[in-house]
Amino acid sequence: MGGPTERAAARVVRFGDASAIGIARQRVRPPRGNEVLVRVTHAALGATDVLARRGGYVLQPVPGFVPGYDFVGVLETESAVSVALGLRTGARVAGVLPRMGAHATLLVLPPTYLVAVPDALSSEAAATVPLNGVTAALALRYAGPAPRILIQGITGAVGALAAQLALRDGRTLFGTGTTPPPGLADGDPRLTLVDYRDPGWPAEVRERTGGGVEAAIDHTGSPLVREAVAPDGVVVRTAFAGRSGHERGDALRGTAAAVVRSRAHPREVVCSVPFWVLRKRVEYRRMLAGLLGDVAEGRLRAFEPEVYPFSAVWDAHRAAEARSAGRTVVLAM
Ligand SMILES: NC(=O)c1ccc[n+]([C@@H]2O[C@H](COP(=O)([O-])OP(=O)(O)OC[C@H]3O[C@@H](n4cnc5c(N)ncnc54)[C@H](OP(=O)(O)O)[C@@H]3O)[C@@H](O)[C@H]2O)c1
């Protein structure tokens, strides 16, 4: 099979700050069986990439790894399975990987990780959606039909999408944050903002709901969250913030504690998109296609892409670390 055989990839050569990234030239093996070759055009760079670069991610790869869970690109080759999925050579595709590696110019992977990008959506804008959108939608699915839901970090990339999806389902929303997320009007009566810097915030949620919300989506791992949830409710944990220098150990302990509390009151659920994508390919593809369609047709407002050329990957890491409100850093490969 013809096509390119070498790629550029952003490797984390040691754990540390943005200077720990090095661009490497790597050989690309030809696709086998039904695999396809994707020329990556854009890849998001988010909170998880920064955490992994520092060595604090719960699913931490060893140094030498290439960050990036999601991407947008163009199919360089096709296979019987990709054609059956409607994906032919030249198609614009997006996907989430089950393990990191998207910050590279070429990927060889099974087409079951890919969905078509709607024509109406630019590749830059589409690149902000896959990981953030699937995390938001999956966390809401795990939250079940809770009429009132608390979303931690509602101004974040994941929280802002989760908030819109929850409101679309007709749920009443509580969000920790200081400003409403993009796409939500200030003073929207369906949203109550509480400030996570005030340690009394769970009591405030409990008081306003008469005993707690039915579900919470949390990325901090804080035990405080349980206090804001009714005893028969559920806490969906998408991440566990750790103490500086102990992030990974704290996240592993947090995950273990959440698993132990899977039958507690409130119960806890761990939401891991990489594992889910690996196991539930059909559901994942349906979810991602739906999210991209929603963004393309204006039913869902994703963050604005803040685009950096791949040659400025170090600046992109610094920008992701600085987190500008309402923006997701995107590498243009
Ligand atoms: N489970 C998965 O598979 C999966 C997938 C993707 C991402 N994640 C994780 O999800 C988390 C959120 O990602 P993101 O991209 O949305 O991050 P982000 O854009 O950086 O947003 C972080 C949010 O957290 C808020 N925040 C900061 N400190 C907080 C605290 N102590 N208590 C409550 N909220 C606090 C921030 O609010 P302010 O702006 O007001 O500070 C902001 O709204 C990250 O930890 C990421 O690693 C998990």
Q: What angle do CA 216, 192, 211 make, to 5 degrees?
A: 55
The residue to mutate among 57, 205, 217, 219, having the most atoms of ligand 1 within 8 angstroms of its beta carbon, is 219
Asked whether the beta carbons of 59 and 19 are under 8 A apart, the reply is no
What pLDDT was estimated at residue 1?
A: 47
Atom 19 of ligand 1, residue of closest alpha carbon: 156
Q: From the alpha carbon of 328, which atom of ligand 1 is closest?
A: 19
Q: From the alpha carbon of 323, which atom of ligand 1 is closest?
A: 20
- What's the per-residue H, E or C state across the chain? CCCCCEEEEEEECCCCCHHHEEEEEEECCCCCCCCEEEEEEEEEECHHHHHHHHCCCCCCCCCCCCCCCEEEEEECCCCHHHHHCCCCCCCEEEEECCCCCCCECEEEECHHHEEECCCCCCHHHHCCCHHHHHHHHHHHHHHCCCCEEEECCCCCHHHHHHHHHHHHCCCEEEEECCCCCCCCCCCCCCEEEECCCCCCHHHHHHHHHCCCEEEEEECCCCCHHHHCEEEEEEEEECCCCCCCCCHHHHHHHHHHHHHHHHHCCCEEEECCHHHHHHHCHHHHHHHHHHHHHHHHCCCCCCCEEEEEEHHHHHHHHHHHHHCCCCEEEEEEC
Cα-to-centroid distance, 47 and ligand 1 (Å):
7
Q: From the alpha carbon of 48, which atom of ligand 1 is closest?
A: 47
Atom 34 of ligand 1, residue of closest alpha carbon: 153
CA R_g for the chain:
20
Residues of CATH 3.40.50.720 domain(s) within the chain? 131-271
The third-level CATH classification (topology) of the domain covering 6-128+281-332 is Quinone Oxidoreductase; Chain A, domain 1 (3.90.180)
* Distances in whole angstroms, Cα of residue 299 to Cα of each of 131, 159, 288: 18, 16, 14
Atom 32 of ligand 1, residue of closest alpha carbon: 196
Residues of CATH 3.90.180.10 domain(s) within the chain? 6-128+281-332
Which tokens go with 284? 């994942």
Which tokens go with 29? 């093996």
Atom 38 of ligand 1, residue of closest alpha carbon: 177
**Ligand 1 binding pocket, CB closer than 6 Å:** 46-48, 51, 131-132, 135, 152-153, 155-159, 176-178, 196, 219-220, 238-239, 271-273, 323
What pLDDT was estimated at residue 173?
A: 94
Q: From the alpha carbon of 241, which atom of ligand 1 is closest?
A: 45
* Distances in whole angstroms, Cα of residue 114 to Cα of each of 6, 74, 80, 88, 110: 22, 10, 14, 11, 8
Which segments in the chain show pLDDT lower than 70?
A: 1-3, 183
Architecture of domain 131-271: 3-Layer(aba) Sandwich (3.40)
